[in-house]
Chain A
Amino acid sequence: MRERARLLGALCTGFIALAGLVEASLPVAAQTGAGLALPAPGSYRLDHIQRVPFGIVLEGNRFPHTLSRYTAGAITLLTFFYSYCADPNGCPLAWEAFEQARERIIGRPDLRGKVRLVFLSLDPAHDTPDVLKNFARHYEPDAAIVPWHFLTTYSYLFLNPVLRDMGEEISIDQQASSTGGLVVNHLLKVFLIDKQGWVREIYSNQSLDPAAILGDIETLSLEAGKVDHH
């Protein structure tokens, strides 16, 4: 409880003091610049990389839901995070990319209601449903246009099979943990999942380009439109 209070307190007091600093220090997402232009949405194919595995997750309370409730039936952008992650090349970078994707989707009437965003915690012991409610609340006003779900699990017993299946293995940084806290080492991966629950693209901190993400979302949307039409 003390840690939770510490987190929430920091959430309130840290806003103004660090806002400018964080904005300036966030890594810039990949730009095509002088490189090759991204292909037009629908003009290329995204591989069916793997199915999202079965899992049990929690949202808002301790009532269990299947993970597929959050990964099928709509185009889904999913990543793993933990609420106190400080690695500028990790969770904050994903957060920024999700924010940008969300803003672009809100500005696109043809994509409204077709895309959901999902954060699944890597630290179920700390990130309880109550803790994550505080994050979800900020996005509730636009939930009908593009919902953003903050999920956790009962424990690592439930989380680890999902992580292993999705190739998101984690470990603790021993030196950092000896200082009293934890760093959950993980490779930043953002998964783009189609309506049928297939992972169709995986982005890393090298490829987390909001323009590319939106193009891929449009590609899946066009693909789904063709399937629905037939």
Chain B
Amino acid sequence: MNKRARTALTAGIIAAAWGLTALAARADETCLSPYTAALIKGQEAYLHVWTLGEKGLGDESDKLVTIGADPKSASYGKVISSVSVGGRGEAHHMGFTDDRKYLWAGRLDDSKIFVFDVGIGPAHPKLINTITDLPEKTGYIGPHTFYAIPGRMVIGTLSNNKTRDGVTGLAVYSNKGEFLSAHPIPAENGGDGYGYDIAINPKKNVFLTSSFTGWNNYMMDLGKLIQDAEAMKHFGNSMVLWNLKSMQPEKIFSVPGAPLEIRWSLKEGDDWAITASALTSKLWLVSHGANNEWQAKEVGTIGDPAKIPLPVDISISADAKTLWVNTFMDGTTHLFDISDPTKPVQIYEKVTGKQVNMISQSWDGKRVYITSSLLANWDKKGADNEQVLRAYDWDGKDLNLKFEVDFIKEKLGRPHHMKFSGPTEKASLDIPGRAASR
């Protein structure tokens, strides 16, 4: 069939459609894998919070807490459900599968990965699988980042089961939870082998990884760690540009001071990503210049680096014009204008807690959520050990507190990573009578 006929056939198929609207655009929330389906462009209905259990608090177990996020709902700002997974293993990050029906949640200490069904009833997630073979299959421990690709999950890890330092790699699992392959992060030719975040740009056949530290450090008391000069040498100082198709490293960038979360610009035509280095308190831009060479460049400063504010999570707006940055030590939420990503400018800041870590924004940027916990042994002590989720509205000038959930008062634990779910609106095709009616 020639091209004209083929085009005509395709046209005919479309003409045959019964005046139906297309499925909503399948894009990406601001910090999700670009392969993630069912973007929530409107009001999120639920907020899932992966929470570290705390000894002497409630059932003491790590748990997935789900909170109502729709102001029109009676459950707004309230804990709707809590699914305890048993034990405490340093609950940390989560990631949706590509179809957004399942949420994978990892623990950095015992390397267990919990898979929750959030597709059928997001208000009440169900634990359906626990994956325990990551160390055995790969030698890596500390599953951190869960990044969906079609039918699979790429897992960025933090450490290894031999030296427990930061030398580690990536693991690929099928959505069914079966191990597929392991990919070491380069430790030579300028690489340190350390890992942290993953961020894919499918249009450019590339992905980036960043680097944090190993089990020896992230499980150590922060006060003790800072005093340990030798331990402080063991933080990542690199980012790696990978060939997505071959899963092979292509270029290593020197990025001192533990570059953490990586966010690609979602603006059509942009080909740059931004990250923040935790120890040096800098913003770094990864882009390709006029010579078509990918490069990493320091482009900005967050707070006063001499005071080690410790930038942790960042969140980019859908239009790539602004970037939220949380600094843990001073409990401050910063907003940068990154409309020129080579020259970020801070345009707003507010103290949002005694310690703040993760930050997530809605697609329209009107709602911003923060949580308090960094790592169980790195959180502040005593009265400064505030453990909260705070929900704000952003009116373009100020963050206005809408609700707050005190995770200590609720006997839940330490809130860390957040993900959104929408309401369930779709019906299964298993409709009795449909087949019979035809």
Please report A residues at the B interface, Cβ cutoff 8 Å: 6-7, 10-19, 21-23, 26, 30-39, 43-45, 47-50, 83-92, 95-96, 99, 122, 124-126, 135, 138-139, 141-142, 155-156, 160, 167, 169-176, 179-189, 199, 202-207, 212, 215
Contact = CB atoms under 8 A, between A and B. Distances in A.
Interface in B396-427: 425-427
B72 interface: no
B17 A84 contact: yes
B151 A167 contact: yes
24 contacts: A15-B9, A15-B12, A18-B15, A34-B288, A35-B271, A36-B241, A39-B245, A49-B152, A83-B13, A84-B17, A84-B18, A86-B17, A86-B22, A95-B13, A124-B435, A138-B1, A156-B435, A171-B428, A171-B429, A173-B426, A179-B20, A183-B20, A187-B98, A187-B99
A77 B437 CA distance: 32
Contact of A99 (B6, B35, B98, B152): B6
A186 B434 CA distance: 18
Interface in B234-289: 241, 243-248, 250, 271, 288
Q: Which of B14, B35, B101, B174 has the most CB of A within 10 A?
A: B14
A36 B204 contact: yes
Q: Which of B10, B174, B176, B271 has the most CB of A within 10 A?
A: B10
A36 B23 contact: no
Contacts of A160: 429-430
A84 B16 contact: yes
Contact of B151 (A126, A184, A186, A199): A199
Given A47-B181, A187-B37, A202-B152, A17 B10 contact: no
Contacts of B20: 84, 86, 176, 179, 181-183
Nearest to A7: B16
Given A87-B23, A183-B23, A33 B101 contact: no
B13 to A, nearest CB: 6
Contacts of B37: 187
A156 B430 contact: yes
Nearest to A39: B246
Nearest to B201: A35
Given A139-B1, A181-B18, 17 more contacts: A10-B16, A11-B9, A11-B16, A15-B12, A36-B250, A39-B243, A44-B247, A84-B20, A88-B22, A89-B25, A138-B1, A141-B1, A172-B429, A174-B427, A180-B18, A202-B152, A212-B205
Contacts of A99: 6
Contacts of A175: 21
B16 to A, nearest CB: 4
B271 A49 contact: no
A90 B150 contact: no
Given A170-B429, A182-B20, A202-B151, A35 B180 contact: no
Q: Which of B4, B22, B119 has the most CB of A within 10 A?
A: B22
B11 interface: yes
Contact of B8 (A16, A33, A95, A141): A16
Nearest to B21: A176
Contacts of A90: 22-23
Contacts of B18: 84, 180-182
Contact of A203 (B119, B150, B243): B150
Given A19-B11, A50-B174, A126 B438 contact: yes
A203 B93 CA distance: 26
Nearest to B2: A103
A189 to B, nearest CB: 6
Contacts of A45: 181
B175 interface: yes
Nearest to A142: B1
B202 interface: yes
Contact of B429 (A26, A167, A184, A215): A184
A83 B16 contact: yes
Given A34-B271, A189-B150, A18 B23 contact: no
B245 A44 contact: yes
Contacts of B101: 169
B307 interface: no
